[in-house]
Structure 1
Amino acid sequence: MRFIQILLIVILLQSCTAQDKKINGVSFVAHRDSITQKNINPLLNINANYAAIMPFAMVRHLEHPVVNFDAERQWFGETILGGKQYINTLKNNSIDAMLKPQIWVRKGEFTGFLKMKSDEDWLTFEKTYSKFILTFAKVAQDTKTPIFCIGTELEQFVKARPEYWFNLIKDIREIYKGKLTYAANWNEFEKTPFWDQLDYIGVDAYFPVSDSKTPTVAECLKGWVLHKTTLKSFSEKFNKPILFTEFGYRSIDYAAKAPWTVDRVAENVNLEAQVNTTKALFEAFWKEDWFAGGFVWKWFINHDKVGGVDNNRFTPQNKPAETLIKEHYKVN
């Protein structure tokens, strides 16, 4: 009897530890080439245990009703074959994946504004989007990928066609048996109607938290208070963990004022701003039991050729923020 009691305690403790382990992820940008061990080693170095794999489909403009994917001219990492190769190579290194197929609108227009002009166009768009998503749902199932993301920042699509999304989720569940999420933009997630059908409340966490040129950790923590309260309430309402499907800051002045900004600016590198904003996000969320973790935006496969102290873009690679992430992921 004593042995059985001890065994049950051990099993319970192991279960709790597994549940408490955060998703310490990166958004692994698709490349023209396959990946090798050289591309994985930098992920191991920062103690990442997850990577978001992001095959893209192309749409000509915000009102174009056809979603094209797995095309001959696309980069290898954006294709079906490439997605499988990336996931399996990561798996061989004990790094799990979230498969996150996304839409790219020509000229980089914001996917949240995708909206068709007629019911006929909506039906065409839905048919081709379903083909895209269900194809990669099968990839996720075949590769035993733990998390599948059904869409990213598609606010107008979700708003205009909610019934479609409920049906899409049912269709995905027929193919894929892992956990599902959707990557809602920071100002979209409160309006997303199908969280009760998913396993994670996915949020691309570009919340504004400070207007300062070089925000301090304390300022950012103060700026997070209201957003954090809302996120916690959402988690409790749906009894689902919050997952930051994307999070990150540029190494630039005013990094926390409008973190979603992607405009190319040739100056104002601010490495301290990137470190402070990232550290505050870690401090605000990673110890919360209702928070599952997240994926840094973004991480390129050719680590030795990207980022650096003269780079003001999102990637933390070869910047002080990379060291911060490495230290944080090691202990969480």
Structure 2
Amino acid sequence: MKPFKLLFLLSILAIQSCKTQTNKINGVSFVSSRQPIDQSHTYPVVNLNANYAAVMPFGFIRDLSLPEVKFNGERQWYGERKEGAAQYITELNKQHIKIMLKPQIWVGHGQFTGYIKMTNEADWKTLEDSYSKFILEYADLAAKMNVEIFCIGTELEGFISNRPDYWFKLIKDVKAIYKGKLTYAANWDEFKRTPFWSELDFIGVDAYFPVSESKTPTIAECLLGWEKHKGDILKVHQEHKKPILFTEYGYRSVDYTGKEPWVSDRSMTQVNFDAQTNTTQALFDTFWKEDWFAGGFIWKWFHDHEKSGGESDSRFTPQNKPVEALIRKHYKSYE
């Protein structure tokens, strides 16, 4: 091969390598609403430079000890049902937004799903049958709509640790229906113990790791706070040889947001945009440059952008807050 041809080929390979390193899943967690969506609701997602959206239909359990998952009920919001999920996927796809379909469980009174645990074999069987119907119905929807990623569950450690054989069978049943990429959304303090990563395509983590105890954490403090967590995450990646996907990430615009990022206590109302922006910047700086990191889905994004978030909002959404501009710029860099 002539020298100039070899140099040209090496240049092309270098460009392709750079593209591989910078191409990430830049996602939003698109909140289920009461109504159908249209271009006015999807354009702000495009404007954020997002390339993925998590669509999240819901199943409901009345109490941690009750085994039946109810879903697609008339009393549910439109976006929480199968019909709504399909319509959201269609509208987002029109804007070339790819999809992670992420059916989730809501337990009555907001009880933590990780504590779901039955007390007898009959109830366990009822829960398994009920959950399978829920997940397989949405796996079928994911297959029919050519969804890129399907998430088989979110923060269900008690269910998984007590019934691991069921979960391996469920994954096999899902694969018989759906041929795309699979993940599971493990809680930040759960992912190291999840037994079935070898059967999935992404190691999914809801990334609410504590990174700073300061009222307004600096970027430097948060980078330091990430060091141990990053090491733990990397070990799991190296053990299973699967990319890491933050199935949820984000911070509230509130004081001490890096201390216990999972807390959604409505009594925390002191708005702090610097805290939200600094913690988010540190997360981006820690992970997005890594080849073993696939990307993530910001928590959370509401359909009615103009009325969401804003200067008095202390919740998770980045909408109409300084951090939205940071995310837009960052996602642009990793298209």
Same fold per superposition (TM over 0.5): yes
Q: Does 1:320 align with 2:313?
A: no
Task: Supply the AA of the counterpart residue of 2:262.
Answer: W
Quote the residue 2:284 is aligned against. Answer: 282
Gaps of 5+ in 1: none
Q: Counterpart in 1 of 2:184?
A: 182
Residue of structure 2 aligned with 1:29, choices 20, 28, 31 = 31
Shift of the 7–81 alpha-carbon distance from structure 1 to 2, 3 Å rule, reads farther
Q: What does residue range 88-237 of structure 1 map to in structure 2 within 5 Å? A: 88-237=90-239
Cα gap change, 1:173/1:12 in structure 2, threshold over 3 Å: closer, same or farther?
A: farther
Give 1:261's aligned amino acid.
Answer: V
Which residue matches 1:292? 294
Change (3 A) 1:10 1:84: farther
CA contact (8 A) 2:22 2:289 kept: no
Aligned residues, how many?
332
Q: Comparing 16-25 with 181-190, which one deviates more in the overlay?
A: 16-25
Runs of 4+ residues over 6 Å off in structure 1: 4-9
In 1, Cα distance between the equivalents of 2:93 and 2:145?
9
Mark the runs of 5 or more structure 2 residues left unpaired by the alignment: none
TM-score in terms of structure 2 length: 0.95
2:308 counterpart letter in structure 1: V
Contact 2:57–2:104 at 8 Å: present in 1 too? yes
What root-mean-square deviation, in Å, do the aligned CA atoms of Structure 1 and Structure 2 show?
A: 1.9
Which of 269, 272, 278 does residue 270 from structure 1 map onto? Answer: 272
Q: CA–CA distance in 1 between the matches of 2:110 and 2:232? A: 30
- The CA distance in 2 between the partners of 1:243 and 1:310, in whole Å, is 31
How far 1:137 moved relative to its partner?
0.3
- Indicate yes or no: 2:239 matched with 1:242: no
Give distance in 1, aligned partners of 2:152 and 2:196: 11
Deviations 1:70-115 (CA, angstroms, capped at 9, x unpaired)? 1111111111111111111111101001000000011111100111
Query: Distance between the aligned counterparts of 1:74 and 1:61, measured in 2?
Result: 17
**Distance in 2 separating the partners of 1:81 and 1:297:** 23
1:77 match: 79
Distance 1:11 1:79, change over 3 A: farther
The answer to whether the 8 Å contact 2:254/2:268 transfers is: no
User: Structure 1 residues 130, 211: CA separation in 2 closer, same or farther (over 3 Å shift)?
Assistant: same
Q: Tell me the distance in 1 between the aligned counterparts of 2:250 and 2:209.
A: 10
- Could you state the TM-score of these two structures normalised by the residue count of structure 1? 0.96
- Separation in structure 2 between the aligned mates of residue 131 and residue 311 of structure 1, nearest angstrom: 37
Match of 2:45?
Answer: 43
CA distance in 2, matches of 1:282, 1:311: 22
* Corresponding residue SS for 1:73: coil
Q: Which amino acid aligns with 1:155?
A: E
Matched, 1:261 2:287: no
- What secondary structure is seen at the aligned counterpart in 2 of 1:298? strand
What is the alpha-carbon distance in structure 2 between the residues aligned to residue 49 and residue 156 of structure 1? 33
